[in-house]
Amino acid sequence: KNEVEQSPQNLTAQEGEFITINCSYSVGISALHWLQQHPGGGIVSLFMLSSGKKKHGRLIATINIQEKHSSLHITASHPRDSAVYICAPRNYGGSQGNLIFGKGTKLSVKP
Amino acid sequence: EAGVTQFPSHSVIEKGQTVTLRCDPISGHDNLYWYRRVMGKEIKFLLHFVKESKQDESGMPNNRFLAERTGGTYSTLKVQPAELEDSGVYFCASSPRTGLNQPQHFGDGTRLSIL
C-alpha cells in the first residue's frame, strides 16, 4: 500500500464546475505540499500547509492532521486548470524536509 | 529572482553511457533535493544536500548514481553506466534553510531517456 493515496486518479470536468481532489497519507508529517504539473512542464508548488486551510485565488487547500487527510478544491474551474495535481507530504521521520509523493490526479477541464 | 534551473531539459543516451545532470538552486538556498519519476510511478526522493553535505542519500537506487554539490551551490547527478530502468524525469528542488516548514521550489526537470 502506498504511503500517499490520491483520489480520483483521473478527473474530467466541465468549465465552471467545483472540483475536489483528495489525499490520504499514512505517515507522520510536518507539512504537506500540493503541487501542479502541466504536460511537458515543471512542477509548481501551489500550497504548503500544516494545519487548517489556505486559499489562493480559486484554489483552496485544507488539511486535517489527526485524520491524515488533505483536500484541494478548485472553484469555477477553467480549461487552464488542466494539469496533474500531486499531493506531497513532508515526511517527518525521514530526511529533514524530503517529500513523499502521491501518484497524482490528472485533471482535464473541458470548455 | 531566478528559479531552480536544470540542465539539460532532455537527454537521450545509450545504455552503458554516462550522463550528468545539473541543478542550479535558487541563490542562497541551503537545501537541495533530487527526486525522480520513472514511467508510471510516483515521484521518489533520491537525496538531500544541506549546503555541500549529503544530509540523506537513502533514496539513491544504487552505486551507479553519484551526486555532488561542491561549494554548496549547484549540484550534479551522474549516472554511470546508465541502464534502461534509469529512464525517467529527474527533478531538483531547493528551499531556503533547514527547517521542517520551508516550501520547496522545483525545477522543470530533466527527462532522461536510455536507449
In terms of pLDDT, which residue wins out, A95 or B54?
B54
- Residue numbers in B near A102 (CB within 8 A): 42
Residues A24-67 have pLDDT tens digits of 999 878 789 999 998 777 899 999 998 999 999 999 999 998 99
- Per-residue confidence of chain B (115 residues) as pLDDT tens digits? 679 999 999 999 999 999 999 999 999 999 999 999 998 888 999 999 999 999 889 899 999 999 999 888 999 999 999 999 999 999 999 998 765 567 889 999 999 999 9
Contact B73, A8 (CB under 8 A): no
CB of B77 closer than 8 Å to CB of B20: yes
Nearest CA-CA distance, residue B7 and chain A, Å: 13
Q: Is B115 helix (H, G, I), strand (E, B) or coil?
A: coil
The label of the residue with cell 541563490 reads B27
If one counts every other C-beta atom within 10 angstroms of the C-beta of residue B12, the result is: 12
- Do the chains contact at B48 and A98, CB–CB below 8 Å? yes
Instruction: Please give the pLDDT value at position A94.
Output: 54
Neighbours of B52 (CB within 10 A): 14
Contacts of B44 in chain A (CB under 8 A): 101
Closest CA to B25 of B60, B67, B69, B56: B69
Q: Are the C-beta atoms of residues B87 and B72 closer than 8 Å to each other?
A: no
